[in-house]
Amino acid sequence: MPAWIQRWRQQRTLRRRPIPEPSWQLTLARFPFLTRRSEGDLLELRNMATLFLAQKEFAGMRGLEVTDEMAVAIAAQACLPALKLGLDWLDGFVGVVVHEDAVVARREVEDEDGIVHAFDEELAGEAMQGGPVMLAWRDVDEAGESAAEGYNVVVHEFAHVIDMRGGLTAGLDDVDPQSRRGIWLGSLADEFERFARQVDRNRPTFLDPYAAESLEEFFAVAAEAFFVAPLDLARHQKRVYPLLRDAFRQDPAATWRPDATA
Ligand SMILES: [Zn+2]
């Protein structure tokens, strides 16, 4: 579709189907970390969330009804990582599947001796290449409180969506992108190794130890803190913060406003 038609359609959606004011205000009140950015960014977030709602299909599982309020809460948080990259970065999927609570998935891993071990994994969310994004409403609902621990399931899954579409270095653009991307990835890998060693030694970490699973998980877990507790991330992972600032083209710690609702 030509860019001008796309822009025209988006303007029409923003005009005809904006997120209603009460619904937006309720979302901001319930998830105060959203409000701690500039007025301009908040307006941009609201517009992007409006377009997100027009493009995506929400489905509740096992009789769960996804209300408008729930959809707005998910859309606003999903758009945070894409805010300065553009909504195109979230176009790798259409469906958002919402469960009432965490989903138990049966996993199997094969060890070095070829023995298969089966175990259950509790999932609060999951993003698959080309597939729907799955979220547990209970975790989304608690995002206002869990922000203090740097936890946010929606940001986590949508960081994966961005990663799956364009790689971790999505936001980097430079005259010499190849070498800059290489340096960026090398730096993140170093921080991931350092973190994994801390977890191995049972040292306390600000980020969830789950981040030690893989480089992709490290990126997604750090992204959660980056958007909901950026000052803590900058303090506890001071070399990771600037990497995410470059990847997402945002600097939330620099503009973090006092909690207006506190
Ligand atoms: Zn993950």
CA of 28 to the centre of ligand 1 (A): 25
Average pLDDT score, the chain: 91
In angstroms, what CA-CA distances link 134 with 63, 94, 100, 140, 246?
A: 15, 11, 11, 11, 27
13 CB contacts (<8 Å, ≥6 apart)? Answer: 50, 51, 54
CA of 199 to the centre of ligand 1 (A): 17
Residue 179 has pLDDT above 60, yes or no: yes
CA of 128 to the centre of ligand 1 (A): 10
CA of 133 to the centre of ligand 1 (A): 11
CA of 48 to the centre of ligand 1 (A): 23
CA of 157 to the centre of ligand 1 (A): 6
The pTM is what?
0.91
> Do 249 and 184 meet the contact criterion of CB atoms below 8 Å apart?
no
220 CB contacts (<8 Å, ≥6 apart)? Answer: 156, 157, 159, 160, 163, 211
Report, as an integer, the average pLDDT of 44-48.
Answer: 96
CA of 219 to the centre of ligand 1 (A): 9
Q: For 133-176, where are the alpha helices, taking DSSP H only?
A: 137-141, 143-146, 153-166
CA of 217 to the centre of ligand 1 (A): 5
Report, as an integer, the average pLDDT of 45-56.
Answer: 96
CA angle 200, 105, 203 (to 5 degrees): 15
Tokens of 53: 């709602």
Residue 172 has pLDDT above 80, yes or no: no
CA of 161 to the centre of ligand 1 (A): 10
CA of 220 to the centre of ligand 1 (A): 6
CA of 2 to the centre of ligand 1 (A): 34
CA of 136 to the centre of ligand 1 (A): 13
62: left (phi over 0), alpha (psi -120 to 50) or beta: left
Phi and psi at residue 168, to the nearest 5°:
-65, -25
What would the pLDDT profile of 125-164 be if each residue is shown by its tens digit?
Answer: 999 888 899 999 999 999 999 999 999 999 999 999 999 8
CA of 121 to the centre of ligand 1 (A): 12
Q: Residue 105: what pLDDT?
A: 84
> Do 133 and 97 meet the contact criterion of CB atoms below 8 Å apart?
yes
Q: Which residues surround ligand 1, an ion (CB under 5 A)?
A: 217, 220
Coil/strand/helix, residue 113: coil
> Do 98 and 70 meet the contact criterion of CB atoms below 8 Å apart?
yes
CA of 67 to the centre of ligand 1 (A): 25
Coil/strand/helix, residue 205: coil
CA of 108 to the centre of ligand 1 (A): 17
Cα distance between residue 36 and residue 46, in whole Å: 14
* 96 vs 262: which has the higher pLDDT: 96
What would the pLDDT profile of 210-256 be if each residue is shown by its tens digit?
Answer: 999 999 999 999 999 999 999 999 999 999 999 999 999 999 999 89
